[in-house]
Structure 1
Amino acid sequence: MTQGATTPFLTIVRDGPIVVATLDRPEQRNAISTDRDIADIVDFCAMVTADHSIRAVVLTGAGKAFCAGGNVKDMATRSGMFAGSPFTLRGAYRTGIQRIPTALYELEVPVVVAINGAAIGAGLDLACMGDVRIAADGATFAESFVKLGIVPGDGGAWLLPRVIGMARATLMTLTGDAIDARTALDYGLVLDVVPPEQLMDAAMAIARRIAANPGHATRLAKRLLREGQDMKLGPLLELSAAYQALAHHTRDHEEAVAAMLEKRAPVLEDR
């Protein structure tokens, strides 16, 4: 791997067509604590979107936690992201942390989330914004907002039911109780549970399988999956036809067809 850019909150490493982004504030359990943290994630998504040579992202956390959500100490003192009147706070959520689901969930490049430890509150919702989730044995998950007398303010009430279904999402949201990695696997929250030392290898293996395909195809396919959750069949078929017409006229489609006919690996040019 070659080292890429590093921000105050993210460490970014490039490995060919794959980018690994690590939430890198382990002393705070990778809590999302400042507007700069939010901007780092949003800016990262913009960078990935603009670079068509990136075909997959792996998102993980440094240290023992994936992401502990919001900074509870700041909540206690009503400081930082939690300062101000109710009207101020409402605006701060809309122009602050709610920018993350808009940027990350809508990111067309496939995102593999490697959950190395606790994914709590906004940290669980962050994981749900990815496409494929795998967890280290020992990871925990909680939609824990009600434990603090608050509600999911970052889109969790929309995200979690779409991942695990309404009944289980309701239970997790209204109790705030944590579940372990094996329960998360049973719920369909994660695709696999592996020993901690194997987590990144497993995540990279999935990312490489995705990145072996033309990037335009995986981006458009992901967009169809996203849009299909809220569209009727007719409009989705129209959108599929439009995307397919675009895909047929790409250089990598021509190369992929030729490679299949010639029984060889394609040489992709991301165009």
Structure 2
Amino acid sequence: MSDLLFEVHEHIGIITLNRPDSLNSFSQEMITQWIEALEQIKNNDSIYVGVVTGNGRAFCAGGDTKALRNGEGFMAKTAGEDDDFVDLPLNVKNGLWKHIQRIPLLMENIDKPMIAAINGPAIGAGLDMALMCDIRYASDRAKLGEGYVNAGIVPGDGGGYYLPRLVGVDKALELLWTGKILNADEAKAIGLVTHVIPDDQLMNEVLAFAKRLTNGPQEVIKMTKRIVYESRTMSLKQSLDLVSSFMAIAVHHPDHQEAVKAMNEKRKPQYN
């Protein structure tokens, strides 16, 4: 059985992590398939929204701790590498860069909405994968935390980048330094998740929201996401310059014409 499932339903690309017996911890196969699924979401024009969730009782427990205990994990070799030639520290760095770190880099370039449906524990790199999404729906039985410190390692998959942007530097450092695990309500209180949903209603709520987005003006939704993310590192003048460029495109797009017509006719717009 595949370590990751990917399906497209009504313009929604759904990624399901599929190692339930291992709490959906990463395998090399899962990472490879995850990258392939994200590339599909990014490049397939018939996919409007992406959703990431887990099979079973966990979202993702992060790296495979069994592999770490066996001296594997970050030490996995890449094609063509020679242990007699490659220094072990460099092997770790290149292993991250060539494999799991490709996921946040891909996510950064996906202008379509990405939603995490956190159906259970999201720990360490598993939490980081949820933080990469634009919106996080959490089951009321979810547990969330950055457990890297407990393994004596640093956050390797973007936790040090995403976490302080969501909860602030002080709370981020507290979570990273202590490995503290939060329940869903505690996570929502500090801005780590967007919504907390009863477990049996989680996917229905996520898919209903995703479906609502698929019915919107897709180019405007993508441009709006890009404005928000790019503006985090821009001056006001640069941001307004980007907005004016996107506005010039938007007002000449058929979706704008349909939206104005629908408002005048007092009906819901019908976008292609």
Correspondence for 1:115: 118
Q: Where does 1:209-220 land on structure 2 (aligned, <5 Å)?
A: 209-220=212-223
Q: How many angstroms does 1:118 deviate by?
A: 0.4
8 Å Cα contact 1:112-1:206 kept in structure 2 = no
Correspondence for 1:4: none
- Compute the TM-score of the two structures, normalised by the length of structure 2: 0.91
Correspondence for 1:50: 43
Q: How many angstroms does 1:257 deviate by?
A: 2.0
Deviations 1:213-254 (A, max 9, x none): 111111111111111111111111111111221222222222
User: In 1, distance between residues paired with 2:223 and 2:270?
Assistant: 20
Which runs of 5 or more structure 1 residues have no equivalent in the other structure? 1-6
Deviations 1:152-208 (A, max 9, x none): 011110011111111111110010111111100101111221211010111112212
Correspondence for 1:63: 56
Q: Where does 1:78-117 land on structure 2 (aligned, <5 Å)?
A: 78-83=71-76, 85-117=88-120
Secondary structure class of the residue paired with 1:246: helix
The sequence identity of aligned pairs, in percent, is 39
8 Å Cα contact 2:75-2:91 kept in structure 1 = no
Pair 1:9 & 2:12 matched: no
Correspondence for 2:83: none
2:14 aligned to which of 20, 40, 47:
20
8 Å Cα contact 1:42-1:104 kept in structure 2 = no
Q: Please say which of residues 246-255 and 216-225 is displaced more in the overlay.
A: 246-255
Correspondence for 2:228: 225
Q: How many angstroms does 1:42 deviate by?
A: 1.8
Secondary structure class of the residue paired with 2:233: coil
| 4+ residue runs over 4 A deviation | none
How many pairs are equivalent? 262
1:37 aligned to which of 30, 38, 59:
30
Q: How many angstroms does 1:105 deviate by?
A: 3.4
Q: Where does 1:89-238 land on structure 2 (aligned, <5 Å)?
A: 89-238=92-241
Q: How many angstroms does 1:71 deviate by?
A: 0.8
8 Å Cα contact 1:74-1:82 kept in structure 2 = no
Correspondence for 1:3: none
Deviations 1:33-72 (A, max 9, x none): 21x3222222212211222232222211110110111111
Instruction: Indicate the RMSD between aligned Cα atoms, in angstroms.
Output: 1.6
Q: How many angstroms does 1:80 deviate by?
A: 4.9
Which runs of 5 or more structure 2 residues have no equivalent in the other structure? 78-87
User: In 1, distance between residues paired with 2:198 and 2:41?
Assistant: 29
User: In 2, distance between residues paired with 1:52 and 1:210?
Assistant: 15
